[in-house]
Structure 1
Amino acid sequence: MEFSDDAFVLSARAFGESGAIVELLTREHGRYAAHVAGGASKRMRPYLQAGARGLVRYRARVSEQLGSATLEPQGEGPAALFDDPLALAGMAAAAAVAAGALPEREPHPGAFLAFEALSGAFLVPEIWPAVFIRFEAGLLQDLGFGLDLSKCAATGSLDDLIYVSPRTGRAVCRDAGEPYKDRLLALPAFLLSSQSGLGPGDIGAGFELTGHFLEQNIFGPLNRPLPPARVWLMERLREAGRL
């Protein structure tokens, strides 16, 4: 089995004396793990950081075994964010969420494109937390657990949607949700329309919303918590006054 594909590095760990097991998000083939010879060397290590991009050439004798890969770096990747520790934390968290949520060897081109868009957004400090939340909402959609924010689940109204049911992921309007607001999740307006600006508390509400459904529908059934890198990102954003 052989293929070449565009890929992002999700994680890498040393293997043997000089190799590394690298987890990749590829454009056409989904999430793949591969052995990269020399991946633990000083020369290769910068190109195997979470979020690094490259052209991967993958080869395995049979499809079931762990194959080997070479990676041709493309672009600056995480190096472009070295002066922004918060954005670097965001990149690591996005890679950890993708690695934990996406099934192995199953094509998810939409997830690749969403990760690509988020990678570019990290260069714009004012917007990337909102793009991160949209990325997570897109992952949920791609995996069959998309939020239904089109109308109120209780009344069918298209207006004044400010809550989400934590059980069904469906939007709820202000009037219908008022008696139950303590049990509902807040719906930030920017998830309804890209034209909506960010209001106070919107980023925190967005992370709580996507985090709830990632935990409920994806990580919980696998008996795993949300990735520690995502928890760390939330702490950093809170310390920075961004939530």
Structure 2
Amino acid sequence: MHLAAPAIVLAIRPHGEHGAIVRALTPDDGVRSGYVRGGRSRSLRPILQPGNAILGDWRARTDDQLPALTVELVHSRAGLHGEPLPAAVISWVAALTAAALPEAQPYPRLYAALSAVLDAVEAAPAARDWAGALARYELLVLAELGFGLALDRCVVTGAREDIAYVSPKSGGAVSRAAAAGYEDRLLPLPPFLLAGGDPDWPDVFAALAITERFLARDVLVDRRAETLAARERLIDRLKRAVA
């Protein structure tokens, strides 16, 4: 087995006295794990940070063997880990991607979208400029894994106009007319998830409430507490940033 590819570092776990097992997302071969000799060394620690772009070279004698991985830094985002809010969002999107995606399954759209979110965080550490992209990324994770939400028409009437809510059970959109009398049982659907544009903060938090509901229920079932802890830290810091 030999794979050489660009990748985004997702997770690093110590292994042995000096090494590390690294999981990274490649554009055409999905999530790949590998053992990095000396991965905990002073020279490699700054490279093996979640969110960093690398060139990876995975080699193994058989498909069942954990590959040896060598890495070359392409672009570092390690400096963002010293800033509380950028660090929180990088930690969350990396943890979500690592926990949700199976090994060796291609997700080129997720690779491109994750790169775009990380670029947005780096370009504008103020959350207002990337929070909407984060919600869209979470929606894309759901869709790519087969849990996409049906937001284009009302699940009750089939209407495409005046969509205002999401059913927390079906994930289907609900029009304002069909929701009459049941609004408190539904999740508000912010317009930017349908029409694009830059959302205000109430719409950002409404979108993140929708994605949290379905990520926790459908994707992170066996890893909910551990992985969602990173999201809880992010949401807490977002709320403090806009207070």
TM-score class, shorter: over 0.9
Distance in 2, Cα, partners of 1:119 & 1:235: 20
Alignment partner, residue 160 of structure 2? 158
Contact 2:36 2:69 in 1 (8 A): yes
- By how many angstroms is 1:224 displaced? 3.2
Alignment partner, residue 97 of structure 1? 96
> 1:157 is aligned with what amino acid?
A
Q: Which runs of 5+ in 1 are unaligned?
A: none
- By how many angstroms is 1:178 displaced? 2.3
- By how many angstroms is 1:223 displaced? 5.9
Identity over the aligned pairs, expressed in percent?
A: 38
**Superposed counterparts of 1:42-81, under 5 Å:** 42-79=42-79, 81=80
TM-score by length of 1: 0.93
1:216 aligns with 2:221: no
- By how many angstroms is 1:17 displaced? 2.0
SS at match of 1:32: strand
- By how many angstroms is 1:65 displaced? 1.8
Alignment partner, residue 111 of structure 1? 110
Matching residue within 178, 181, 186 for 1:179: 181
> What number of residue pairs does the alignment pair up?
239
Distance in 2, Cα, partners of 1:127 & 1:190: 14
- By how many angstroms is 1:239 displaced? 1.6
- By how many angstroms is 1:199 displaced? 3.1
Distance in 2, Cα, partners of 1:99 & 1:82: 18
1:55-89 deviation line (CA, Å, top 9, x unaligned)? 1000111112211111110123232x256420121
- By how many angstroms is 1:171 displaced? 0.8
Distance in 2, Cα, partners of 1:78 & 1:113: 20
> 1:233 is aligned with what amino acid?
L
Matching residue within 129, 147, 150 for 1:148: 150
Moved more, 53-62 or 198-207: 198-207
Distance in 1, Cα, partners of 2:22 & 2:140: 24
Alignment partner, residue 208 of structure 2? 207
Alignment partner, residue 9 of structure 1? 9
Distance in 1, Cα, partners of 2:154 & 2:23: 40
Contact 2:99 2:223 in 1 (8 A): no
**CA pair 223-44 structure 1, distance change in 2 beyond 3 A:** closer
Distance in 2, Cα, partners of 1:203 & 1:93: 16
Distance in 1, Cα, partners of 2:191 & 2:159: 16
**CA pair 73-198 structure 1, distance change in 2 beyond 3 A:** same
Distance in 2, Cα, partners of 1:210 & 1:78: 27
**CA pair 128-78 structure 1, distance change in 2 beyond 3 A:** farther
Alignment partner, residue 22 of structure 2? 22
Where do 4+ consecutive residues of structure 1 move more than 3 Å?
A: 223-226
TM-score by length of 2: 0.93
> 2:140 is aligned with what amino acid?
G
Distance in 2, Cα, partners of 1:82 & 1:9: 14
- By how many angstroms is 1:200 displaced? 4.4
1:204-240 deviation line (CA, Å, top 9, x unaligned)? 11111001111111112x3633431111111111122
Contact 1:100 1:227 in 2 (8 A): no
Distance in 1, Cα, partners of 2:200 & 2:33: 40
Q: Which runs of 5+ in 2 are unaligned?
A: none
